[in-house]
Amino acid sequence: MTPEENPYIKPTDYFEGYNESINKLKNNPEAIQFDRLCYELFEMTQLGKDFMTIVKDRFILPGLAKPGSATFQIDCIWAEGFKDFPRTILGHIRSHQQRIQAEVNKV
């Protein structure tokens, strides 16, 4: 019996669950479609690039909660929720860019 066959000394694959989830999402047509749309709207057109630059400069980068205010803790929670949607779009853009790069590298 080899070490790979022995269940007592076989190493645990801690990434098995992650890899299964990744493989399920790889070919999910709805995720791919949204990634592609975000990429084409906000990365392939000049208007989209300008829009995302403004969103980053005005809404993602600056702190929206003011330290010292009476509602600072609540404002922090609100600001993070407010920033989540543009961050999600940026994530979809990056996801499609990675998909494109993977296809280029595969060839």
Q: How many domains does the chain have?
A: 1
Residue 4: the pLDDT is 65
1 domain-assigned: no
* Residues of the domain holding 58: 16-106
Domain presence at residue 55: yes
Distance (Å, whole) CA 50 – CA 76: 27
**Confidence (pLDDT) at 33:** 92
The answer to whether position 93 is within a domain reads yes
> Which stretches within 1-107 are classed as H helix?
16-26, 29-42, 46-55, 72-106
- Dihedral sign (CA 92, 98, 104, 107): negative
pLDDT of residue 1: 57
Instruction: Flag whether 7 is in a domain.
Output: no
Supply φ then ψ for residue 45, to 5 degrees. Answer: -110, 145
pTM above 0.75, yes or no: no
Pick out the chain residues at pLDDT < 50.
none
pLDDT at 3: 59
